[in-house]
């Protein structure tokens, strides 16, 4: 064919999403929010229904050499729950598309569903349907999640205002470092199958990679304190990328302080061991599934002593100016991360 060929990588993930979005317009009055947030928002009267989907492909998103099927099932649900958490919603149902090659036995499928079931119980989500089919290559898991939120409590990426405080839950970078550990041990094992992987020391990091949790606990705690974030997103691609999303959608800039970014002590040491700047793992590592959100200054007081919420900076009016103040006091621009998968 002599047709023009443009590689998708030239646009990148966000360019492709923008392109798709620009070609589609919404026709149904119930479609309140389409492409471009953690979940779509559908009007059902007094409440909103929230819908989001995540697809995981073998060889791209997971490696069964070190990802037990139970953990994979759990993670596939958790990362979808995380999208509903990022809308300040409550997850209720999931529907699963599953592609299985004949490499997978019934026992393997049972293990996968054991993990899915454990996550469903933990997050109080119902599996209500799906489509299971064979696959000519590897394992494909596509989960769509349905959640709900009261109209006035639905939090988009677009509501942050000047001076809002930027908050992040948990700690960042550990999931990325867990993946580095698993990759290293896999290579050691492949070189010499007699060598047993030594993961004990890195248990926390490996656990963050293999069995992430959605921060529904934070969503429920904020609700108890009657605090509605002004904007929110879950951290799947790294703090830098998510912060830029909030700024772009809210039409604000952001300023964060490197010394306020929460990094676990083991993650810090392990980053040094891998000769990676610990801050880089937090900014660009991804897969932490923590929540990044903004609050009005007046909501700071009831949260200020929360052990698992960290206040890392604030929004400001200089759109497109997103900066980090380093530990040395220098101003570092926050860079968008490209798409890891293409």
Instruction: Give me the least distance between CB of 18 and a copy of itself, in Å please.
Output: 12
Looking at beta carbons only, is 17 or 265 nearer to a copy of itself? 17
Instruction: Provide the β-strand partners of residue 332.
Output: 324
Q: 116: buried, middle or exposed (CB in 10 Å: 19+, 13-18, 0-12)? A: buried
Burial tier of 133 (Cβ tally within 10 Å: 0-12, 13-18, 19+): exposed
Q: Which is nearer to a copy of itself, 27 or 194 (CB)?
A: 27
Smallest distance from a copy of itself to CB 289, Å? 15
CB of 311 to a copy of itself, least distance (A): 30
Q: Are 142 and 53 in contact (CB under 8 A)?
A: yes
Tokens at 151, concatenated: 């109209």
Residue 17 CB, nearest approach to a copy of itself (Å): 7
Closer CB to a copy of itself, residue 16 or residue 223? 16
C-beta closer to a copy of itself: residue 202 or 289: 289
Residue whose CB is less far from a copy of itself, 37 or 299: 37
| Phi (first) and psi of residue 203, to 5 degrees | -50, -45
- Comparing CB distances to a copy of itself, the nearer of 71 and 316 is 71
Q: Whole-number minimum distance, CB 158 to a copy of itself, in Å?
A: 15
Question: Quick one: tokens of 254?
Answer: 């952001």
Minimum separation from the CB atom of position 84 to a copy of itself (A): 12
Neighbours of 76 (CB within 10 A): 24
Closer CB to a copy of itself, 25 or 194, in the complex: 25
Residue 57, CA distances (Å) to 5, 141, 150, 307, 314 in order = 25, 7, 33, 35, 36
Catalogue the E-assigned strands of 45-139. 47-57, 90-100, 126-134
Query: Residue 211 has what DSSP assignment?
Result: S
CB nearer to a copy of itself: pick between 142 and 250? 142
What are 31's strand-pairing partners?
42
Kindly tell me the sign of the dihedral angle through the C-alpha atoms of 37, 39, 40, 45. negative
CB atoms within 10 A of CB 147: 26
Question: What is the smallest separation between the CB atom of 295 and a copy of itself, expressed in angstroms?
Answer: 26
Q: Which residues pair with 133 in a beta bridge?
A: 99
Q: 127 with 133: CB under 8 angstroms? A: no
H or E element, residue 47: strand 47-57
Strands 165-169 and 290-295: antiparallel
**Cβ at position 299, least distance to a copy of itself in Å:** 28
């Amino acid at each position: 064919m002599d047709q023009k060929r443009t590689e998708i990588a030239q646009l990148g993930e966000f360019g492709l999403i923008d392109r798709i979005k620009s070609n589609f317009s919404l026709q149904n009055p119930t479609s309140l929010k389409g492409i471009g947030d953690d979940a779509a928002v559908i009007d059902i009267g007094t409440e909103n229904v929230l819908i989001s989907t995540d697809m995981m492909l073998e060889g791209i998103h997971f490696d069964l050499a070190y990802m037990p099927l139970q953990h994979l099932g759990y993670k596939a649900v958790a990362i979808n729950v995380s999208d509903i958490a990022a809308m300040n919603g409550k997850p209720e149902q999931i529907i699963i598309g599953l592609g299985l090659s004949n490499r997978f036995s019934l026992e393997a499928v049972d293990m996968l569903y054991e993990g899915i079931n454990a996550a469903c119980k933990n997050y109080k989500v119902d599996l209500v349907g799906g489509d299971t089919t064979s696959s000519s290559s590897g394992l494909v898991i596509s989960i769509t999640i349905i959640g709900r939120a009261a109209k006035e409590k639905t939090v988009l990426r677009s509501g942050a205002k000047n001076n809002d405080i930027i908050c992040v839950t948990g700690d960042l970078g550990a999931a990325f470092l867990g993946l580095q550990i698993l990759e290293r041990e896999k290579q050691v094992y492949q070189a010499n199958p007699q060598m047993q992987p030594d993961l004990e020391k890195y248990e926390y990091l490996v656990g963050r990679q293999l069995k992430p949790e959605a921060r529904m606990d934070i969503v429920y705690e904020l609700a108890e304190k009657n605090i509605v974030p002004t904007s929110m997103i879950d951290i799947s691609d790294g703090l830098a990328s998510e912060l830029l999303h909030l700024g772009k959608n809210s039409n604000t800039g952001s300023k964060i302080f490197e010394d306020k970014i929460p990094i676990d002590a083991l993650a810090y040491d392990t980053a040094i061991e891998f000769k990676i700047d610990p801050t880089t793992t937090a900014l660009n590592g991804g897969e932490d599934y923590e929540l990044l959100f903004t609050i009005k200054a007046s909501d700071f007081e009831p949260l200020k002593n929360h052990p698992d919420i960290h206040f890392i900076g604030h929004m400001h009016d200089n759109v497109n100016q997103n900066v980090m103040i380093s530990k040395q006091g220098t101003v570092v621009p926050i860079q968008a991360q490209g798409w890891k998968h293409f």
